[in-house]
Amino acid sequence: MWQAFQLRLAKNKKYSGNHENSNPVQASFKGLHWIFCLNEKPGNSGFMDPASFSYSQPQFFAIRRIPLLSFGQYKNIVFLKGAGNAMAYEIEMLNITKVFPGIKANDNITLQVKRGEIHALLGENGAGKSTLMSVLFGLFTPEEGKIKVRGKEVNISSPNVATELGIGMVHQHFKLVHNFTVAENIVLGLEPKLVGGRIDLKKASERVSAISKKYSLEVDPGAKIEDISVGMQQRVEILKMLYRNAEIMIFDEPTAVLTPQEIKELMGIMKQLAAEGKSIVVITHKLKEIKEAATRCTVIRKGKGIGTVDVATTSEQELADLMVGRSVSFKVEKKQANPGKTVLEMLNVTVVGHQGKNLLKDLSLSLRGGEILGIAGIEGNGQSQLIEAITGLQSIKSGSIKFDGKEISGLSVRKRTEMGIGHIPEDRHKHGLVLEFSVEDNLILQTYYRGPFSRSGILDRLAIRKQSEELMERFDVRSGQGSVSITRGLSGGNQQKAIIAREIARSPKLLIAAQPTRGLDVGAIEFIHRELIKERDKGRAVLLVSLELEEVLNVSDRIAVLYEGEVVGVVDALKTNETELGLMMSGAKNGGGTHEG
């Protein structure tokens, strides 16, 4: 193309010759890159050395002559557009190094994202993916390295600068105002105004509708955020970026909070956005999703850039091995379960919610020592209430819950914990941890009042430190300053490992694991699954509640399916499959598999 352009210019006498030119001006406009070159006089050549562009082969678009009346001359403006070129990097992060005390979060990492591609950023929890993206979004300043956006070196000192450069980010935890409407959230900060400064809500919702139509991202502009699903909230975040004319979109673990259906939709949306010329960076550790959506993938391991690979020619196994740095097994290896006596027996349990709705209806379940019972179901079908009823966070209206043969439905949370119920909570930030506490203080959250951690009300710091160091070592909890690190500073995976360490260390007879691998990478998932199976093999009862069918199928021995607060069936994990479970999850009683009484 470039040669053709030169040829064309050469043919046109007016543009031949080799004279001085003004500096080329690059700009982004209408989703394309334009390079303008002004000729001082007619007769000057209208092009520059291709090497001076970051887009090595700009396409010729048009030459316009603009009369300059004051000089009685013409000025020629050459329009070149640089889209869809192989070398057109939208963002280049070159040799980025970011150091925190005690930890080199990013160590000489290079990330180059092309226009219109979906670029996956793959790495274990705590590998430094989020740090790298925070650098790009202006939240952290790197110690070394430079960032180029559309070929120009930039200094992104704050998120505002990033927004101006057309960089948008969807954070893992959405930044939305819950009692505002969709439209209000999208225009927040850039509201269309009426006379007198009032917000023009009509115009706002029109604009939102226009954008959502353009990208076929359907939303109800008038709905309140608190009333819409998580998937819809994410869509609002995407529209927020589009409203701000983002060209580069960063998604931080976007599928962690979504249902399988919503994940499928998101993949579609991302592909479509990429086709529109947006550049997308997805932080993730879900290999399947990378294979499905991404074109290229940059792998980071323990803060170091491992390399960039072409997704189409790299297998999932290879990606996983690259990420973890060793060979990873996807199969959950376990022996036949050897169930002992019944540990948990729930009979006709009913739980009523705030609005008087039955959240659990006449639910009966039994769980024996030495087995893993998986709870499958679509989110919001009573899983949370089931867990809370067993742990004592929620009282039941009727029915009975027997643990180890004793009725526990009237007992306090602490009593039940002391009897031997361990609980890996669904929401680690809300329930699992006091984020302001140090790691060692979080590891004694249920045991602080007992020996060896305290004697007659006085904490024994030495014993606390000793346990913490042992557990952090055994469960590979990584933190900047060891036991005294503030928990908030740990990566999500390490926070989760700390919780699992704490719960397993208490050696409970019943371990409730709610979404134990949510948001974790394959290495950590493998580890946690192995720990759960180890607990089972020690003769303990494990209740695994998960929204990921694959996890339930792979880890459990038996599977109970919840639908609208009822158990629609209990099946043998070896004799069922995703299709059958899927049917049962949508309410079809006993999908035809082995039904246990």
Separation of alpha carbons 458 and 273, rounded Å? 59
Smallest separation, CB 440 to other proteins (Å):
11
Burial 380-404 (b: 16+ CB within 10 A, else e): ebbbbbbbbbbbbebebeebebbbb
Residues 6+ apart with CB under 8 A from 470: none
Q: How far is the CB of 535 from other proteins (least distance, A)?
A: 20
* Closer residue to other proteins, CB minimum distance, 115 or 518: 518
**Which lies closer to other proteins via its Cβ, residue 142 or residue 493?**
142
Question: Min. distance of Cβ 183 from other proteins in angstroms?
Answer: 32
Residue reference for tokens 């579609």:
268
With beta carbons less than 8 A apart as the criterion, state whether 74 and 65 touch: yes
Q: What is the DSSP letter of 22?
A: P
Give alpha helix (H) positions in 304-428: 316-324, 383-391, 413-419
Q: Strands 398-403, 406-407: parallel, antiparallel or unpaired by DSSP?
A: antiparallel
What is the smallest separation between the CB atom of 126 and other proteins, expressed in angstroms? 16
Of the pair 358, 394, the CB lying nearest other proteins is at 394
Residue keyed to tokens 């050395």? 49
Which of 270, 472 has the CB closer to other proteins?
A: 472
Instruction: Give CA 581 to chain center in angstroms.
Output: 26
Candidates 367, 432, 361; CA nearest to 393 is 432
Nearer to other proteins, 462 or 574 (CB): 462
Minimum CB distance to other proteins, residue 82 (Å): 30
Of 190 and 434, which CB lies nearer to other proteins in the complex structure? 434
Q: Between the CA of residue 266 and those of 117, 336, 385, what are the distances in Å?
A: 15, 38, 29
Find the shortest distance in angstroms from Cβ 505 to other proteins.
Answer: 14
Residues facing 366 on adjacent strands: 345
E strand or H helix that includes residue 290:
helix 287-293
Q: How far is the CB of 501 from other proteins (least distance, A)?
A: 15
Nearer to other proteins by Cβ, of 334 and 506: the residue is 506
| Burial of residue 316, with CB atoms counted within 10 A of its CB: 0-12 exposed, 13-18 middle, 19 or more buried | middle
Query: Is 97 or 308 the residue whose CB approaches other proteins more closely?
Result: 97
Of 18 and 456, the one with the shorter C-beta distance to other proteins is 456
The residue behind tokens 């609208």 is 564
Query: Of the two residues 425 and 516, which places its CB atom closer to other proteins in the complex?
Result: 425
- What ranges make up the beta strands (E) of 312-419? 342-352, 358-368, 372-376, 398-403, 406-407
The residue among 357 and 415 lying less far from other proteins, judged by its C-beta, is 415
Decide if 183 contacts 221 (C-beta within 8 A): yes
Residues 491 and 468: their CA atoms lie apart, in Å, by: 17
Whichever of 56 and 481 has its CB closer to other proteins, that residue is 481
Q: Tell me the three state secondary structure of residue 303.
A: coil
Which amino acid is present at 53? F
Coil, strand or helix: which one is 453?
coil
Please report how close the Cβ of residue 428 comes to other proteins at its closest, in angstroms: 9
Token pair in block for residue 285: 């550790």
Supply the minimum distance, in Å, between the C-beta of residue 394 and other proteins: 11
Select 386 or 559, whichever has its Cβ closest to other proteins: 386
Q: How far apart are CA 130 and CA 172, in angstroms?
A: 10
Give me the least distance between CB of 455 and other proteins, in Å please: 10
Minimum separation from the CB atom of position 430 to other proteins (A): 5
In the complex with other proteins, which residue's Cβ is closer, 302 or 431?
A: 431
Tell the smallest beta-carbon distance from residue 436 to other proteins (Å).
Answer: 5
Least distance (Å) from other proteins to the CB of residue 448?
5
Q: What are phi and psi of 108, to 5 degrees?
A: 60, 55
CB of 141 to other proteins, least distance (A): 5
Bond from prior residue into 452 cis (ω within 30 degrees of 0): yes
Binding site for other proteins (CB under 8 A): 100-101, 141, 143-144, 391-393, 412-417, 423, 425, 430-437, 441, 445-446, 448-449, 454, 457-459, 480-481, 486, 489
Joined together, the tokens standing for residue 584 give 């049962």
Distance (Å, whole) CA 449 – CA 81: 69
Task: Judge contact between 401 and 408, C-beta under 8 A.
Answer: yes
Q: Report the residue number, 155 or 336, with the smaller CB distance to other proteins.
A: 155
CA pair distance 423, 327, nearest whole angstrom? 31
Tokens describing residue 472: 């952090």
What's the angle, vertex CA 128, arms to CA 123 and CA 133, rounded to 5?
Answer: 100
Q: Which residues on neighbouring strands pair with residue 180, listed in sequence order? A: none
Report in angstroms how near the CB of residue 402 gets to other proteins at its nearest: 20
What φ, ψ does residue 378 adopt, rounded to 5°? Answer: -80, 145
